[in-house]
Chain A
Amino acid sequence: MSLEFVFDLLLALAIIWSAWRSLSASRLDLAIVMFIVFGLLMALAWARLSASDIGLAEAAIGAGLTGALLLDAYGALKRREA
C-alpha cells in the first residue's frame, strides 16, 4: 500500500462520513458546518484527481459562498423564531 493510496482512501472515507453526517444531523447548524467541511474535502479530492480548475470552483462556490449563504439563512431563521 503506497502512501498515495492511504491518503486517497482516508480522504474518500472522510468525504462519505461528512456527507452522511450533513444529511442525517438533527441540528441545522451542525448540518451546515458538515456541508462546509464536505465542500473543503471535495476541493481536496478534485486536487488529488488533478482537476484543479474544478477544485477552484468547488472551493469558491461549495465551501465559501454556499456556506456563508447557508449560515446567513440559518441566522435569519433564528431571528424569525425569536
Chain B
Amino acid sequence: MTGFELPIALFLLCNLIVALLAAARGPTAADRMLMALLFGSTGTGVLVLLAHGGGGQVLVDVALLLALLAAIGGIAFARRAWQRGGDD
C-alpha cells in the first residue's frame, strides 16, 4: 500500500454522499434506482480500496458479492417494479 488508498476511498464516499443528498429528491423513479446502482458500483470500489489499505483480503470477496447483487436489484426494478402511472 502506498497510503493513497484511504484518501481516494474518502473521495469516493464524499461522491456518494453528494449523490445521496441530490438524488434523494430526484424527479423520477428511474433516477432514484440509478442512484442505488451507482451506490453499488462505488461501494465495490471503496471496498476494494479498503481491502488494500489494511482491511484484509476478505473484503475483496465482499466487493465481488456487492458487484453481483447490485445488478440483481437493477434487473428486479426494470422487469418487475417499474410500471406506467408513476410520476414519470
Chain A residues packing against B (C-beta within 8 Å) = 3-4, 6-7, 10-11, 13-14, 17-18, 21, 29-30, 33-34, 36-37, 40-41, 43-44, 47-48, 50, 52-53, 55-56, 59-60, 63-65, 67-69, 71-72, 74-76, 78-79, 82
Contacts and interface: CB of A to CB of B under 8 A. Distances in A.
A40 B37 CA distance: 10
Name the residue in B40, B58, B65, B73 with the highest tally of chain A Cβ atoms < 10 Å from its Cβ.
B73
A14 B81 contact: no
Say what secondary structure dominates the interface of chain B: helix
Contacts of B59: 47, 52, 55
B80 A64 contact: no
Interface residues of B, number: 44
B81 A29 contact: yes
Interface in B16-39: 16-17, 20, 24, 29, 32-33, 35-36, 39
A21 B26 CA distance: 13
A50 B62 CA distance: 12
Given A47-B50, A56-B65, A60-B69, 4 more contacts: A7-B10, A47-B47, A59-B62, A78-B81
A12 B39 CA distance: 16
B76 A67 contact: yes
A50 to B, nearest CB: 7
A78 B65 contact: no
A67 B29 contact: no
B75 to A, nearest CB: 8
